[in-house]
Amino acid sequence: MATLYINKSNLFKNLDKISSINPNILAVIKDNAYGHGIITVSKLLKEYGIKKVCVRNIDEAEIIKGFFEEILIFNPTGARNAKNISYSINSIKQLKKNKHPYIHLKIDTGMHRNGILENEIREVLEICLKKNFKIRGVFSHFCCSEEENSDTFIQYEKFKEIKEKIEKFCKNNNLKKPIFHIANSTALNKLPDTFDFVRPGIAMYGGIEGYKAIMSLVAKGVSVREIENDGVGYNKTFFSKDKIKLTTVDIGYADGIPYFKNGCQLKETKAVGKISMDYMSVLGEYKEVVVFDDIKEFVKNFDTITYEILVKMSPRIKRVVIE
């Protein structure tokens, strides 16, 4: 079977780099920790000293609730009484139906995907006060932080203003001051101030420049053959005049590799022809083939982003931590 290796020292180096900007990290481990394996990654984060994480839904929070002091659920439904679980409040409508006492208010400062609108904040705070909700955090999300443009600063300034208002409200009503957080990975080095906590995902996993990739995919050879003046695979989109050796390895598009019709550059060799559901053919004779060890390189084969390939790595593939 193929194996996904998770490189602990690279993860820790990425965390060191993030910590040098702001040591208070709300680590984003939604969607099976971007495909790396939510339990595998949670154990490592706990070992590093991470105390707070963000997940997608309640099912994910349940899996890892023993690991952390606080788990923020981005898209919660239903109610859970666990004290270490916080719900993101993504709209005033959701707040009115909410029964979970520990919350983070998500504010729409410009992405317009979800979040409480600026002119709803006053009412939202009054509801929280009346219903005795504990506002543990207030946050927002950037729409364009991977680009060099002014949206990030407009959102930053807006968030700063909102922070002052909410802090004033809390002080006047004797409420505990919430933590404020807005910085995703690509905003980390762009902001004058990263507020109380930072909220990185892809940087931890090394899916952007400046950070070390932590996932490598190693496939096993299942058979070797020679062809000459012949093709390989469905529709024989690859053809060789010369006599060559090919190894079939045990990874295909069912495992999360994006579909390709005519080859793909791997770490040391090339896949040729069309990828099959469970297999692909590579040039040369191998017992094992490194499909990728840096997602930033592998993604260049496809019209997609590092996030998508990582997150779609099949949970069936075994995750193994290496030092």
Q: What span, in angstroms and rounded, lies between the C-alpha atoms of 178 and 194?
A: 15
Query: For residue 133, what are the contacts with CB-CB under 8 A and spacing of at least 6?
Result: 95, 98, 101, 102, 103, 127
19-20-24 Cα angle (round to 5): 35
Whose CA is closest to 59, among 43, 45, 76? Answer: 76
Q: Do 116 and 137 contact (CB within 8 A), yes or no?
A: no
Query: For residue 261, what are the contacts with CB-CB under 8 A and spacing of at least 6?
Result: 237, 274
Q: Pick the stretch among 6-14, 41-49, 195-203, 313-321 that binds ligand PLP (CB under 6 A).
A: 195-203
Of all residues in the shown chain, the one whose CB is closest to ligand PLP is 201
Q: Pick the stretch among 3-11, 200-208, 248-256, 279-287 that binds ligand PLP (CB under 6 A).
A: 200-208
CA separation, residue 229 to residues 237, 241, 281 (Å): 13, 4, 16
Q: What span, in angstroms and rounded, lies between the C-alpha atoms of 82 and 104?
A: 15
Q: Does residue 202 bind ligand PLP (CB under 6 A)?
A: yes
The residue annotated as part of the active site, out of 30, 52, 106, 274, is 30
Helices 38-48 + 8-21 axis angle, to 10: 60
Does residue 234 carry a catalytic annotation?
yes
Whose CA is closest to 30, among 55, 57, 51? Answer: 55
Binding mask 14-43 for ligand PLP (x = CB under 6 A): --------------x-x-------------
SS3 of residue 291 by DSSP: strand
Decide whether 272 or 313 has the Cβ nearer to ligand PLP.
313
Q: Do 137 and 88 contact (CB within 8 A), yes or no?
A: no
Decide whether 40 or 88 has the Cβ nearer to ligand PLP.
88
Which of 137, 178, 201, 273 is in the footprint of ligand PLP by CB under 6 A?
201
Decide whether 61 or 202 has the Cβ nearer to ligand PLP.
202
Which of 94, 155, 185, 248 is in the footprint of ligand PLP by CB under 6 A?
185
Which of 90, 152, 155, 184 is in the footprint of ligand PLP by CB under 6 A?
184
Q: What span, in angstroms and rounded, lies between the C-alpha atoms of 119 and 187?
A: 25
Binding mask 119-148 for ligand PLP (x = CB under 6 A): ----------------------x-------
Q: What span, in angstroms and rounded, lies between the C-alpha atoms of 38 and 104?
A: 22
Decide whether 74 or 180 has the Cβ nearer to ligand PLP.
74
Q: Least CB distance from residue 125 to ligand PLP, whole Å?
A: 21
What tokens were used for 213? 């990739």
Decide whether 30 or 319 has the Cβ nearer to ligand PLP.
30
Which of 199, 272, 298, 309 is in the footprint of ligand PLP by CB under 6 A?
199
Q: Does residue 178 bind ligand PLP (CB under 6 A)?
A: no
Radius of gyration of the chain (CA): 23
Decide whether 166 or 218 has the Cβ nearer to ligand PLP.
166
Q: Least CB distance from residue 311 to ligand PLP, whole Å?
A: 10
Whose CA is closest to 160, among 140, 146, 143, 176? Answer: 140
The residue annotated as part of the active site, out of 131, 165, 234, 259, is 234
Which of 67, 74, 180, 279 is in the footprint of ligand PLP by CB under 6 A?
74
Does residue 211 carry a catalytic annotation?
no
* Interaction site with ligand PLP (CB under 6 A): 28, 30, 74, 141, 184-185, 199-203
Catalytic residues: 30, 234
